[in-house]
Structure 1
């Protein structure tokens, strides 16, 4: 707590802290939403096989007669096990006899089908294009969409492992600045990636940068404030992340092309590099890394911005060395990761906290990056989840300051587990009804694809929406 005495002399929550905190929170507003950006840029639209009779301009009208789009799709696309139009197969030859079966298939030989050898046709009612439509990440290649998310999470893991070490060695301000630049570059280049492999590589680097930026923004805010404000700083960072997801949802609603959305979320990060030159490095880090003169300069600079008079006379090198003597002596011994596991009590605490973090992070990230699989409006779900997290964060400040960490953890983890279990008992019929209501008049998709002639057609739900 020696450094706290120095911080109290220059102001632990003055104009400087407010301005720097505002800038760092704005950084988080634009950076942290990239963790869930693929809910929109990698959304899986409705799709079906490309069939010549519908999607080839060279097929004459006489070939199909006066049949409607639904009839043409019925003779071209088989039904899957759920009696819904198959997304990954088509009939080898048009099955004209299906137009006269009146919904009964019992006495008909199973016709031959084949994969989508000529590509797919995608729905464009929600998204004009995504990475899925860009590289046909559907059917047999659908697993590649999860690979991109996995690579991004690996980047976050690597950034988290390296973040603390790099920050302690090179400083919070330098690492933050160095992470913002590649974050902006990789995010921008990802929108222009020519291949899926390059996109995944850029995605990995972007994930590492997100972790570095988040870690160092939190450190710069916490290390310039008194202990009573540390919980508030953490909560404000979480609120900024939630607000950023709300902003991202609005931008995703406006920009339905994944290239444009990726650019809109990445290019503004370049402008954050300009104000970083006015950020102050953590004075505590400067002092404990044998740079007391620079630490003293930062303290005087903060005192001046906070309007503390006579800071030059009160803050001297002798005062800094005397106040920080114990911390400077402690830095002579280099700690290692193994120190966390040497004593029984500390080892138990570290193990339990890591286990708690692991068990809560899995459902949180699983829910956050797979919102589309909830079969609901992805814009609404993303916005609601972000909006609801803000009052929860505000309530967390009260819990931390008045109830304590341990009781708060116990109560919130219990509530978290109950809500997850409750989702298991949601009737499946609700999802089916919602699917039908989402298709007015039973019409399912308006198809379009950039690599084939663009035509619109419709396809009706089979059983659940009462069509076939």
Structure 2
């Protein structure tokens, strides 16, 4: 009897699983806080340089109303008066155009940000974007590091370690003495975010019955969206960046009670020859679900009924590698397209999410709107996925790309229209991102699905790293970032035409299936198949369920 059959008998989504999902979903709110906090802590208020020399014509308060750009950056904001007569003097030891006094910032919106504290404007503006990219790089490092550690030591312990790391280093970032220490602490927080996201999702998936897995996965997405919305209100109330960083990090210490309530994965325990411990957990789950079993129950293995442990299982040797993803023509074509789709979805998702000040409306209202858009975007995929993976992916990418592209033709004065178009773009990309993790798991055959999802995830994180840097292109053209956010998804939409339809189709097991021969007649869905213990095990004995849908955020 495999584990899915056991779940069918003790309850695939009973009280035990529902309680587990409460514990899994709560951290998602704080994950959204950490992922998007730089929208406010790294915001750039309008700024002007106040020279050091005395001048009778210099007003006590600088006029920031001349700076019309929403992010505080404009040609005027970085035009530094070199002396009281605006004459260029080169003999004072300062480079022409550098601020020889100090920067002053408008405090109408923010009390303080990392930009105002460490003067990350004009010549130093790129440091702000690089800081966000380094945080995103932490997500990539954490995904690689804690993915392998979780397969070796278990999901629960890795989740607990990363929740503690997130709280300690998140609070530490609130007291960082300089920008470089702040960036280093945020990098460590980023690694812990990946450790929590992927292992919490996998823990829930491994305890949930096949029929409820997709719905259960969407539930966690809703909580991330709720955190997205809640951050807008929290940032509105707390305008000081250190206090805001502390407010989103300190509650993480409350998760200490997870030591007592968060269960291990019985599926992982079985795969690692710890069956007695696994069956104790199964008994507790069955009891909570109202379907109790005892040691003399027919479900129990005979060996455990008699009081001795089973012998270690022979591991199936993995015979495929990443090279197989590009070794044959059709597999190579599909792999490269899927890699690009992961990259572009995450690039545009965070390109829009982290740069909401560019659209001209109130930053808090825009954050709230973008958060609200997450909810219907996640929901609509439940109705479109089963009809067609291919058309759904293509359509939402096209919607997102077209809306972003149209924003470049709207004057900055029409901020409401630009925000509406950006909101539509965010809707399309969010829905597309919800689809790609299901679609890609069905495109890759079973024998290399783990490798395919792993490389796809790395491409996604690369997109996350480049998303903050993309806005450095504004020095070339103010429209360049949104032009990129529009053209890249449209290219992805066109490339999706070259992918196969996988909805209600046989799931490929071998590369030969992809190349056009010997397809099986099994019509199981992605989540039913890739999470089943019947699929090929990897070198650590775990099924490929551990490697699907791990890098959704």
Deviations 1:123-167 (A, max 9, x none): 111110000111111111111101101100110111122232122
- Quote the offset at 1:295 in angstroms: 1.2
| Residue 344 (structure 2) aligns with | 359
TM-score by length of 2: 0.66
Deviation at 1:373, TM superposition (A): 2.5
Equivalent residue number for residue 116 of structure 1: 99
How far the C-alpha of 1:340 sits from its partner, in A, is 5.6
1:279 aligns with 2:288: no
What is the aligned partner in structure 2 of residue 102 from structure 1?
none
Shift of the alpha carbon at 1:429?
4.3
Cross-structure match for 2:9 = 9
Match of 1:212 in 2: 195
Q: Within 5 Å, which residues of 2 pair with 1:386-401? A: 386-400=371-385
In the TM superposition, what whole-angstrom CA distance separates every residue of 1:232-257 from its partner, at most 9, and x where no partner exists? 12222221111101111111000000
SS at match of 1:125: coil
Q: Which has the higher contact order (CA 8 A, sep 6+)?
A: 1
Structure-2 change in CA distance of 1:178 and 1:47 (3 Å): same
Say if 2:362 is the partner of 1:377: yes
2:337 & 2:10 partners in 1: Cα distance? 38
For the pair 1:417 / 2:417, whether they are aligned, the reply is no
Secondary structure of the structure 1 residue equivalent to 2:236? helix
Counterpart of 2:387 (choices 393, 397, 403) is: 403
Correspondences of 1:124-273 after superposition (within 5 Å):
124-273=107-256
Q: Which moved more, 1:308-317 or 1:213-222?
A: 308-317
Query: 1: distance between equivalents of 2:314 and 2:276?
Result: 19
Asked if the contact 2:115–2:121 (Cα under 8 Å) also holds between the matched residues in 1, the reply is yes
CA contact (8 A) 1:176 1:217 kept: yes
Instruction: State whether residues 226 and 371 of structure 2, in contact with CA within 8 Å, keep that contact through their aligned partners in structure 1.
Output: yes
Alignment: residue pair count: 400
C-alpha contact 2:28 2:223 (8 A) present in aligned 1: yes
Match of 1:30 in 2: 30
Change (3 A) 1:340 1:21: farther
Please report how far the alpha carbon of residue 366 of structure 1 lies from its aligned counterpart in structure 2 after TM superposition: 1.0
3-state DSSP of counterpart to 1:49: strand
Instruction: Report how far residue 343 of structure 1 moved.
Output: 7.1
Using the alignment, how far apart are the partners of 1:320 and 1:351 within structure 2?
A: 47
Aligned counterparts of 1:369 and 1:300: Cα–Cα separation in 2: 46
Distance verdict in 2 for CA 1:87–1:320, change over 3 Å? farther
C-alpha RMSD over aligned residues: 3.2
1:297 corresponds to which residue? 280
Distance 2:401 2:228 in 1: 24
Unmatched 5+ residue regions in structure 2?
Answer: 90-95, 306-311, 419-553
Counterpart secondary structure, 2:176: coil
Deviation at 1:419, TM superposition (A): 2.1
Q: Secondary structure at the match of 1:115?
A: coil
1:91, CA displacement in angstroms? 4.2
| TM-score, length-scaled by structure 1 | 0.77
Q: Which has the larger radius of gyration?
A: 1
